[in-house]
């Protein structure tokens, strides 16, 4: 996969615009097909989305917006081309991660995931569930572990939250088992503590398809 990177291209070009939803914003490409990735975190021309940092509330909305912008503004010749997500994240909100996984499973195009730096916790789950190819650069750190929470309040609420958390955790292990070569019990056992993997180990377990 060849990825053209225009992030640091500072040569002046004719300004045009591109639509995000109902709002037109400035673009530095005369073909109306490229963003400054450093500003917007994605490239329409190259069908790339960057996920950098923690997975937090609002990431799903942001991700959907960027995917829709790419699909709505790409050339007809690129209609069925995959979207590539460049991932560098310590993880975070499992609900947002599961929402993104659901969303990419419903898209008419494949979504590749490429981890660079780290893909941990919820980010590792997203990496494993990509609908296109799943890759990691040579020195990327990958980690999975049990879901954690800081629930407090009434005893009945704590019990309800604990049951929900257990069900949610089972779902994440089922997804890992479904998308890797290892079974559910393997992931349940390994995730009792932070389970770090090199790309080589992740490739062996089937969590990724290739090492860049």
Q: Catalytic residue positions?
A: 121, 145
SS3 9: coil
Neighbours of 89 (CB within 10 A): 24
- 22/2 Cα distance (integer angstroms): 32
One-character DSSP codes across 97-137: HHHHHHHHHTSSS-EEEEEEEEEETHHHHHHHT-SS-EEE-
Burial (CB count <10 Å: 0-12, 13-18, 19+), residue 178: exposed
Name the helix (H) or strand (E) containing 49: strand 48-52
- 26/45 Cα distance (integer angstroms): 15
Nearest CA-CA partner of 67 in 52, 91, 84, 86: 84
């Amino acid at each position: 996969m060849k990825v053209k990177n225009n992030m640091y291209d500072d040569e002046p070009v004719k300004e045009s615009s591109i639509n995000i939803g109902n709002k037109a914003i400035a673009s530095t490409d005369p073909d109306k097909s490229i963003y400054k990735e450093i500003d917007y975190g994605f490239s329409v021309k190259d069908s790339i989305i960057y996920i950098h940092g923690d997975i937090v509330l609002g990431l799903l909305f942001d991700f959907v917006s960027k995917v829709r912008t790419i699909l709505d503004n790409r050339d007809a010749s690129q209609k069925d081309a995959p979207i590539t997500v460049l991932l560098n994240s310590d993880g975070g909100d499992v609900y947002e991660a599961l929402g993104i996984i659901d969303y990419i499973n419903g898209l008419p195009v494949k979504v590749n995931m490429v981890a660079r730096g780290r893909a941990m916790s919820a980010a590792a789950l997203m990496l494993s569930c990509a609908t296109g190819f799943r890759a990691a650069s040579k020195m990327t750190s990958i980690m999975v572990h049990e879901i954690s929470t800081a629930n407090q309040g009434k005893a009945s609420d704590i019990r309800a939250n604990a049951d929900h958390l257990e069900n949610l955790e089972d779902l994440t292990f089922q997804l890992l088992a479904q998308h890797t070569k290892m079974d559910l019990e393997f992931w349940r056992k390994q995730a009792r503590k932070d389970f770090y993997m090199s790309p080589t180990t992740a490739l062996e377990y089937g969590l990724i398809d290739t090492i860049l």
